[in-house]
Chains A and B, each alone.
Chain A
Amino acid sequence: MQEDTVRQQSIINKLLYNSTWRGWLFQALVLLGLLGFFSWIIYNTVSNLQRLDKKSGFDFLSQRAGFEILDSPGVRLMDYAPGVSTYLDVFWVGAINTITVAILGIIAATLLGFLIGVMRLSRNRIFSAVATVYVEIFRNIPLLLQLFFWYFFALRAVPELRERWSLFGGLGGINKSGLYLPAPVFEQGFGYVALAFVLGVAGCWLYARFATARQFATGRRPPTLPVYLLLLIGIPLVVFLVQGSPLSWELPVFKEDGPILRRGYQADAGMVLKPEFIGLWLALSLYTASFIAEIVRAGILAVPHGQTEASQALGLSGGMAQRLIIIPQALRVIVPPLTSQFLNLTKNSSLAVAIAYPDIVSVFAGTALNQIGQEIEMIFMMMMLYLILSLLTSLFMNWFNARIRLVER
């Protein structure tokens, strides 16, 4: 009897006073609590939906969508047509539009950000002043305001719908309905040209390895530039000519007569960047570039000055010192925060609906959600899209980061 109670007590003591046991106990309790919490949420949601007599499930995805969507990459790629396409197509139209503006925005923001960041460190007073002013302005004004500014500024600045400014000697032009450019038309045989180019890239990579090996062996690097040019441009060009120039250009068409609403640029000819796309792309790129510029500046400043002096002592030219010594070290500091800027840009693209660019939030969480009304399923799909985009971006940047990491011996 006595012994039993003592034993029991010792078990309780063990549970409470042994830190390993206690840890397990509390973790189990927390897990139980969490499970209870989530099952309560799910139960509550389901019963609320039932009470409201709302549908659930993903059947709506095969329903046909009856609304028009603004001409955009997604609409073109999915061949979207109201009354024919389904809500799943609508999802993809929005997704493609989001991805397009995110990728183009990341490219532009990175190029501009590096330029401004380096300019800020320039010894030229004017350059560094311009860069400082740029950063302070674009970083400190809310993105939404910048979005409206660029969109309405661009709209006000260019000619009316039935007028235009010609660009590139009439090959393209711009007015309030967009920027019109010749569209490439790939004809049969262009595939070979593309193949030649891909092989050329692979060839360059192999040749670069060979050149480095030679350099280690003999101390002298064989000429690379002519070989690169031959592989990347020369051979594809020959293939292009042999195939009979399988590429032509479709020019935009501008009509000056006929019924007034049919005048101006025609919807189905040439390539067009809509003002909504241009406004969003510009605003996202300019805004994010100001943050990237600061990251780049910090990255370069993080490389001790001794490194520059050491490379000078070794007899490296200024450019070579930058390329071989400074930038590779700066990149290690730059890349991790750069990744979060890329993620920010992607997520910020969801402001698109403010200026009518048909991104995923606009077409799917806006128009489609108002038709279907299944918030939970639809927002879930959208969250998954953003999550996957973010994970892919991080994955790619982590890979890149690992490649440029300092290899310690």
Chain B
Amino acid sequence: MKFKKVLLGLAVVACTASAQAATTLETIKEKGYLQCGVSQGLPGFSNPDDKGNWTGLDVDYCRALAAAIFGDAEKVRFTPLSAKERFTALSSGEIDVLSRNTTWSMTRDTQLGLNFVGVTYYDGQGMMVPKSLGATSAKELDGAKICVNTGTTTELNITDYFKTHNMGFELVAFEKSDEVIAAYGAGRCDVYTTDRSGVAAERLKLANPDDHMVLPEIISKEPLGPVVRQGDDQWFNIGRWVYYALLNAEEFGITSANVDEMANSENPEIKRFLGKDDSKFGEGIGLGNDWAYNIVKLVGNYGEIYDRNVGPDTPLKLERGVNALWTEGGIQYAPPVR
């Protein structure tokens, strides 16, 4: 009996050993869905609605990825992760891609065995205080008690900022952002701080959002973007070009509404992009040649995604600002498909 078990064990081991060698794309295709790491609920970026459907900018990136791979934007499953758990979940293989308002920093890019594919949202760290505090600038915060998330760039930046300005402070660090904002709401802290987009989102969770204001200072650069494991160049390329496809589509003026019309366009760039000539860009990265068509058709272009999740007409009310295309005065810029 025991002996049989050992043999069985060895067989299992041998099988997993060979499975290890498969590429990320192959494994995903075999599974039939993409496993995408998101936040535990950050409106505008990744947030489950009351029916359990995920929405948000980070979520739509994963849907675009699924559309490119499967031609079906629904073939994706979401794993909610706290800031503290996210990198371990990615490097252990629990998820295929991490799309969770994650800041691209040198440590994360070079020390953790991970690669950032691009910047889907340029952000910076902001601070929120109760209006009753009477503060108008972050420089007046000497002695403040500050609530943050553990395992974020936020908790590091804040230490730097207060040190630079020679101010004292107390840092109260929670694992989950629901508790961070609840503790701030309960009066434990004078300041709530995270990425500005996050501040805008979390502020809506307060009992009286209008009693709180965001200070003008932006104390850091927070380029947020999707992350993949290092060492699989094909998967990295797919991740990166799906993001570029979203930008290029917007630049060409291709939207989910007009993509079929555009597919008949005589413009050679657009034809190439949508896979309507005989160039094989999709196959080059292991996908079908209609990869970009599927992304735009099923999910939309970057501008559409932005507007429906975080733009001025959403509760978050975030202007495009630096996240506009380079042609519109922003810094979102994608290399050409050619």
How far is the CB of A82 from the nearest CB of chain B, in Å?
A: 5
CB closest residue in chain B, given A262: B143
Is the CB–CB distance between B159 and A82 below 8 Å?
A: yes
Q: For the complex, what is the distance from the CA of A40 to the CA of B152, rounded to whole Å?
A: 34
How far is the CB of A72 from the nearest CB of chain B, in Å?
A: 11
Is the CB–CB distance between B174 and A355 below 8 Å?
A: yes
Is the CB–CB distance between A82 and B6 below 8 Å?
A: no
- The tally of residues in A whose CB lies under 8 Å from a CB in B reads 53
Which B residues touch A37, using CB under 8 A?
Answer: 9-10, 13
5 interchain pairs, CB-CB under 8 A: A29-B3, A53-B231, A67-B159, A71-B170, A366-B84
Q: For the complex, what is the distance from the CA of A83 to the CA of B176, rounded to whole Å?
A: 25
- B-side interface mostly: mixed
Which A residues touch B140, using CB under 8 A?
Answer: 259, 261
Q: For the complex, what is the distance from the CA of A49 to the CA of B176, rounded to whole Å?
A: 29
Is the CB–CB distance between B91 and A52 below 8 Å?
A: yes
- The tally of residues in B whose CB lies under 8 Å from a CB in A reads 58
Is A33 part of the binding interface, using a Cβ–Cβ cutoff of 8 Å?
yes
How far is the CB of B9 from the nearest CB of chain A, in Å?
A: 6
Residue of A30, A44, A156, A358 touching B2 (CB-CB under 8 A): A30
Q: For the complex, what is the distance from the CA of A272 to the CA of B112, rounded to whole Å?
A: 38
Residue of A44, A69, A156, A356 touching B186 (CB-CB under 8 A): A156
Residue of B114, B144, B156, B173 touching A261 (CB-CB under 8 A): B144
Is B52 part of the binding interface, using a Cβ–Cβ cutoff of 8 Å?
no
How far is the CB of B79 from the nearest CB of chain A, in Å?
A: 17
Is B111 part of the binding interface, using a Cβ–Cβ cutoff of 8 Å?
yes
Is the CB–CB distance between A261 and B133 below 8 Å?
A: yes
Which B residues touch A49, using CB under 8 A?
Answer: 113
Which B residues touch A260, using CB under 8 A?
Answer: 133-134
Given contacts A53-B231, A353-B150, A370-B84, 18 further A-B contacts (CB under 8 A): A29-B2, A33-B10, A37-B10, A49-B113, A52-B114, A53-B113, A67-B156, A67-B171, A70-B171, A260-B134, A262-B142, A262-B143, A362-B173, A370-B150, A370-B151, A371-B156, A373-B107, A373-B113
Q: For the complex, what is the distance from the CA of A362 to the CA of B2, rounded to whole Å?
A: 41
Q: For the complex, what is the distance from the CA of A369 to the CA of B172, rounded to whole Å?
A: 18
Interface on B for A, CB 8 Å cutoff? 2-3, 6, 9-10, 13, 17, 20, 83-84, 87-88, 91-92, 107-108, 111-114, 133-135, 140-145, 147, 150-152, 155-156, 158-160, 163, 168-176, 179, 182-183, 186-188, 190, 229-231
Is A375 part of the binding interface, using a Cβ–Cβ cutoff of 8 Å?
yes
Q: Which of A144-165 contact B (CB under 8 A)?
A: 148, 152, 155-156, 160-161
Q: For the complex, what is the distance from the CA of A32 to the CA of B6, rounded to whole Å?
A: 9
Is A139 part of the binding interface, using a Cβ–Cβ cutoff of 8 Å?
no
Q: For the complex, what is the distance from the CA of A259 to the CA of B147, rounded to whole Å?
A: 20
Is the CB–CB distance between A44 and B17 below 8 Å?
A: yes
How far is the CB of A265 from the nearest CB of chain B, in Å?
A: 11
Is A392 part of the binding interface, using a Cβ–Cβ cutoff of 8 Å?
no
Q: For the complex, what is the distance from the CA of A231 to the CA of B278, rounded to whole Å?
A: 98
Which B residues touch A381, using CB under 8 A?
Answer: none
